[in-house]
């Protein structure tokens, strides 16, 4: 079967023009199943573009490649899906590609913006992709580059997955699609390639297993075939018809299974017989071993009993010795405890006596210190009282002395004034008496000068004596001759001032 497929592929490759060779993959004579009906998973993030699911072919027949959201290889590129096309009596796979424009993809209505011609799911604008909410599952809370535009499908709505051949789509490329087909293309990304490889190894995605209704119809990201982003197909696009080759393969597989089952049954029977024989032999061996074991056990038990008796006897002897040792140790400990208690009592008594003596000494010292402190306090108080009394007496004596001195000074001053007045009067009288006879004498007589009156001696005053007033000069007897002036009274000498007697301070 595989050889015939390769031959068909070789023939088809020879019939394809060299210019279109890069667009084709494998080819097969069996038409692919109808496209399953499923919903689109939520857009995972801004910048992802939807690539629809399709049926691919492998060693075990057709398998489903789930639709998924893919990051484009560059900003501004759009995805043109691949498609199966009939030619030269075979179905050949035209690989999808990335380009600035969407080319021809067989007129297959993949849905979600790929209605058979062009793409109505969105467009690029200033480096950002804007999503059409009418055909894409977009969370507008997270994605803000959105718009709404109804996409009208001008083709017959069906789930046919191939172009040409029996029951296939009859669409042909437009001029714009022909131009896009010859523009520069970028092949599928590495993530897309890994996505296809993972689908080819998933047995549940085989059409012969899922009957055209895959459990993984679409994923949120490439290669994620489990989790919340996986969407299962609601139903198959049409009733699944297994190819004749698949029926033959199924019959061969059933025959092989039957043969394998028979062989397995025979093997199990042989194993059962061998196991029974082995069980019988094992049972006999076990019986013999049991008898030997019983004999060995009896001998072991006897030896164990003797050993136990000896051990018990030794244990009793050891226990008796231990008991005696413990009693002696207890007596020794009691004696040691008693001695320790006696020693502790003596130490306690000694400590108590020492503490009492120390307390008595402390008490005596405290009393003595208190007495000394009281005596010192009384001595200081007496001394302060004596000093205060002495100061009071000294102040009183000083005041009395000052008062007596003032009295004596006043008395002396009064006496001096009185004496001075008396002398002045006496001098004046003497001068007047002496002047009268001179006036009666004749001019021829000599002119005796009046002797200077001597000042009378001044009594010694205690206070400073005041100077006597000076006497006025005597009148001239003759106008021609100048009489002698009366001598000035000399001031009396100051008596020595008596210093006040200092009284002795009373003895303390």
The verdict on residue 209 lying in a domain is yes
* Number of domains making up the chain: 1
Looking at per-residue confidence, does 436 or 395 come out higher? 395
- pLDDT in the model for residue 281: 75
What phi and psi values does residue 296 have, to the nearest 5 degrees? -65, -40
The two three-digit tokens of residue 177, written as one number: 């699609």
Tell me the per-residue pLDDT of 287-343, one tens digit each, with 9 for 90 and over: 777 777 777 777 778 787 778 888 888 888 788 887 888 888 888 888 888 888 888
Tell me the per-residue pLDDT of 389-424, one tens digit each, with 9 for 90 and over: 888 888 888 888 888 888 888 888 888 888 888 888
Tell me the per-residue pLDDT of 355-397, one tens digit each, with 9 for 90 and over: 888 988 889 889 888 888 988 888 888 888 888 988 888 888 8
Provide the pLDDT confidence category of residue 155 given band limits of 50, 70 and 90: low
Please check whether residue 68 is in contact with residue 80, taking contact to mean a CB–CB distance below 8 angstroms: no
- pLDDT in the model for residue 409: 84
The verdict on residue 91 lying in a domain is yes
3-state class (DSSP) for residue 253:
helix
Torsion angle (degrees, nearest 10) of CA 272, 278, 279, 280: 120
For the cut 90, the answer to whether the pLDDT of residue 64 exceeds it is yes
pLDDT, mean of residues 56-62: 94
* Number of neighbouring beta carbons within 10 Å of residue 103: 24
For the cut 60, the answer to whether the pLDDT of residue 349 exceeds it is yes
Tell me the per-residue pLDDT of 157-181, one tens digit each, with 9 for 90 and over: 689 999 999 999 999 999 999 999 9
Q: Exposed (0-12), middle (13-18) or buried (19+): which is 356, by Cβ within 10 Å?
A: exposed
Please check whether residue 495 is in contact with residue 460, taking contact to mean a CB–CB distance below 8 angstroms: yes
Nearest Cα residue to 165 out of 4, 7, 12: 12
Tell me the per-residue pLDDT of 437-472, one tens digit each, with 9 for 90 and over: 544 444 444 444 443 444 444 444 443 434 444 444
Q: 408-441 burial string, b = 16+ CB within 10 Å, else e? A: eeeebbebbeebbeebbeebeebbeebeeebeee
Torsion angle (degrees, nearest 10) of CA 151, 155, 158, 162: -110
Residue carrying structure tokens 């007495």: 371
Residue carrying structure tokens 């001598």: 487
The verdict on residue 202 lying in a domain is yes
The verdict on residue 31 lying in a domain is yes
Provide the pLDDT confidence category of residue 244 given band limits of 50, 70 and 90: low
pLDDT, mean of residues 261-268: 73
What phi and psi values does residue 457 have, to the nearest 5 degrees? -65, 140
The verdict on residue 41 lying in a domain is yes
Most confident of 10-14, 285-289, 477-481: 285-289
The verdict on residue 86 lying in a domain is yes
Structural element, H or E, at residue 259: helix 244-440
Give the strands of the sheet with 49-51, arranged side by side: 49-51, 67-70, 218-219
Chain Cα centroid distance, residue 107 = 63
Q: Exposed (0-12), middle (13-18) or buried (19+): which is 176, by Cβ within 10 Å?
A: middle
The mean pLDDT of the chain is 79
The verdict on residue 365 lying in a domain is no
- pLDDT in the model for residue 27: 65
Nearest Cα residue to 26 out of 51, 2, 50, 52: 2
Candidate from 17-26, 74-83, 271-280, 378-387 with smallest mean pLDDT: 17-26
| pTM score | 0.48
> How much is the CA Rg of the chain, to the nearest whole Å?
78
Specify the length of the chain in residues: 508
For the cut 60, the answer to whether the pLDDT of residue 485 exceeds it is no
Give the whole-angstrom CA distance, residue 46 versus residue 239. Answer: 37
- pLDDT in the model for residue 245: 58
CA-based diameter of the chain, in Å? 219
The verdict on residue 154 lying in a domain is yes
Candidate from 16-30, 236-250, 315-329, 340-354 with smallest mean pLDDT: 16-30
Nearest Cα residue to 75 out of 123, 34, 36, 120: 123
Output the CA angle 152-222-25, nearest 5 degrees. 75
- pLDDT in the model for residue 309: 80
For the cut 90, the answer to whether the pLDDT of residue 489 exceeds it is no
Tell me the per-residue pLDDT of 70-120, one tens digit each, with 9 for 90 and over: 999 999 999 999 999 998 899 999 999 999 999 999 999 999 999 999 999
Nearest Cα residue to 500 out of 414, 409, 411, 404: 404
Structural element, H or E, at residue 125: strand 122-125
Pairing of β 122-125 and β 128-132? antiparallel
pLDDT, mean of residues 8-17: 39
pLDDT, mean of residues 5-31: 49
3-state class (DSSP) for residue 69:
strand
Question: With pLDDT > 90 as the criterion, what percentage of the chain qualifies?
Answer: 39
Residue carrying structure tokens 């043109």: 80
Most confident of 19-23, 24-28, 183-187, 480-484: 183-187
Give the whole-angstrom CA distance, residue 110 versus residue 116. Answer: 7
- pLDDT in the model for residue 446: 41
Structural domain containing residue 140: 2-242
- pLDDT in the model for residue 274: 73
Give the whole-angstrom CA distance, residue 33 versus residue 30. Answer: 9
Give the whole-angstrom CA distance, residue 229 versus residue 316. Answer: 80
């Amino acid at each position: 079967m595989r050889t015939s497929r390769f031959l068909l592929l070789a023939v088809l490759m020879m019939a394809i023009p060299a210019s279109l060779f890069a667009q084709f993959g494998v080819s097969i004579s069996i038409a692919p199943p109808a496209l399953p009906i499923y919903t689109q998973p939520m857009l995972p993030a801004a910048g992802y573009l939807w690539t629809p699911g399709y049926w691919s072919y492998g060693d075990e027949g057709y398998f489903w490649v789930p639709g998924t959201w893919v990051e484009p290889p560059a900003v501004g590129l759009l995805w043109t899906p691949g498609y199966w096309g009939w030619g030269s009596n075979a179905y050949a796979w035209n690989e999808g590609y990335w380009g600035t424009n969407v080319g021809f993809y067989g007129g297959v209505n993949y849905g979600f913006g790929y209605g058979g011609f062009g793409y109505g799911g969105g467009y690029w604008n200033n480096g950002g992709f804007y999503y059409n909410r009418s055909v894409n599952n977009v969370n507008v809370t997270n994605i803000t580059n959105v718009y709404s535009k109804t996409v009208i499908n001008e083709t017959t709505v069906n789930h046919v997955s191939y172009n040409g051949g029996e029951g296939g789509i009859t669409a042909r490329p437009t001029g714009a699609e022909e131009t896009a087909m010859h523009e520069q293309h970028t092949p599928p990304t590495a993530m897309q390639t890994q996505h296809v490889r993972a689908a080819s190894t998933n047995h549940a995605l085989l059409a012969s297993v899922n009957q055209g209704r895959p459990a993984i119809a679409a994923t949120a990201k490439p290669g994620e075939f489990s989790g919340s982003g996986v969407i299962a197909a609601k139903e198959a696009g049409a009733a699944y018809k297994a190819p004749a080759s698949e029926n033959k393969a199924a019959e061969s597989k059933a025959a092989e299974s039957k043969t394998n089952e028979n062989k397995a049954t025979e093997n199990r029977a042989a194993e059962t017989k061998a196991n029974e024989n082995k069980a019988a032999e094992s049972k006999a061996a076990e019986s013999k071993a049991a008898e030997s074991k019983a004999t060995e056990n009896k001998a072991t038990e006897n030896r164990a009993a003797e050993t136990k008796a000896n051990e018990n006897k030794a244990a009793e002897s050891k226990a008796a010795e231990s008991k005696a040792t413990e009693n002696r140790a207890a007596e020794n400990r009691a004696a040691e405890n008693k001695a320790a208690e006696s020693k502790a009592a003596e130490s306690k008594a000694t400590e108590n006596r020492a503490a009492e003596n120390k307390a008595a000494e402390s008490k005596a010292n405290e009393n003595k210190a208190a007495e000394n402190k009281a005596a010192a306090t009384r001595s200081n108080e007496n001394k302060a009282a004596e000093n205060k009394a002495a100061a009071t007496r000294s102040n009183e004596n000083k005041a009395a002395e000052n008062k007596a001195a003032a009295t004596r000074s006043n008395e002396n001053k009064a006496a001096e004034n009185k004496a001075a007045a008396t002398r002045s009067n006496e001098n004046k009288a003497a001068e007047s008496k002496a002047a009268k006879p001179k006036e009666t004498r004749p001019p021829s007589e000599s002119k005796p000068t009046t002797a200077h009156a001597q000042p009378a001696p001044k009594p010694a005053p205690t206070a400073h004596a005041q100077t006597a007033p000076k006497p006025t000069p005597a009148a001239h007897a003759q106008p021609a001759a100048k009489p002698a002036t009366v001598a000035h009274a000399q001031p009396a000498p100051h008596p020595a001032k008596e210093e006040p007697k200092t009284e002795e301070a009373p003895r303390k």
